Amino acid sequence: MSGSGNVAIVSGAAQGLGRAFAERLVEEGYQVLAFDTQAEVENLSGATGVVADVSRRDDVERVVAQAVEMGSIEVLVNNAGAWKKTPVDSSWEQALADWDEIMDTNLKGVLMLSRAVVPHMKVAGGHILNISTYYVLPAKSDGTNPPDTDLYGASKWSLNGFTDAWAKYLEADNIKVNGLCMGAVDTPMLRGLFPDGQLPVGLADQVMQASEIAQLMMDVMASGRTGENIGAWVGEPVRLNDQPPLHKRITG
């Protein structure tokens, strides 16, 4: 892991975790191409901000082409994600519309962006980080995989397949692929779930900070580990723990 002018791409970087990832990579000396569907991404200090939609192939190809012009692509953070409640008894029409909205961003976008980047990473190696959720790891508290977010949960469990297969396939090219799987982090998305954007007192005292997850990202890249889901849980120190045995690196 070098930084030193190499290029990092961060999707969904206008706010929250994506913004924290982009800002930290800038601090580490990367040329950061940060993109989002929200125009606020253009105001990200030190980074090149681009308005683009990860679920659109032409946008993905435009972003990667611009990154190639900036230098050698070393890091891809697949952070863009869609979340919403999707009750199992919603109408067929609503269920299919929700499927397209969530899967186009959470899965197809990850597929397209990663496949577009890999040929350029093969030159000198690199890192792909898939931003997932603690739902895919053994539960340590209530509230894991809530029943009214089946499509979001399915999309994140499906990321395991990408992380596992890509890590194995790309290891010969020195491309490391890992997932970051965290619980509640103080972000605009989390605050949007509560009235007036205020976190409940109990949660506000324990919730993780985006900067902590950004540091965890840097620690994962520095470790040289691959093919693993790295967990971070509310109420526990945010740190890179010992590597589990091979058969537990994805699902714990």
The total number of residues shown for the chain amounts to: 252
- Among candidate residues 30, 156, 168, 248, the one labeled active-site is 156
CB 81 within 8 A of CB 113: no
Place of tokens 């792909």: 128
Number of neighbours of residue 135 by Cβ within 10 angstroms: 17
Q: Verify whether residue 85 is a known catalytic residue.
A: no
| Token representation of residue 2 | 């070098």
| CA-derived radius of gyration, the chain | 17
DSSP calls for 59-106: HHHHHHHHHHHHS-EEEEEE-------B-TTS-HHHHHHHHHHHHIII
Place of tokens 């002018």: 5
Which residue(s) pair with 232 in the sheet? 182
Q: Verify whether residue 156 is a known catalytic residue.
A: yes
- Among candidate residues 30, 134, 152, 176, the one labeled active-site is 152
DSSP three-state, residue 3: coil
Q: Which residues are catalytic?
A: 152, 156
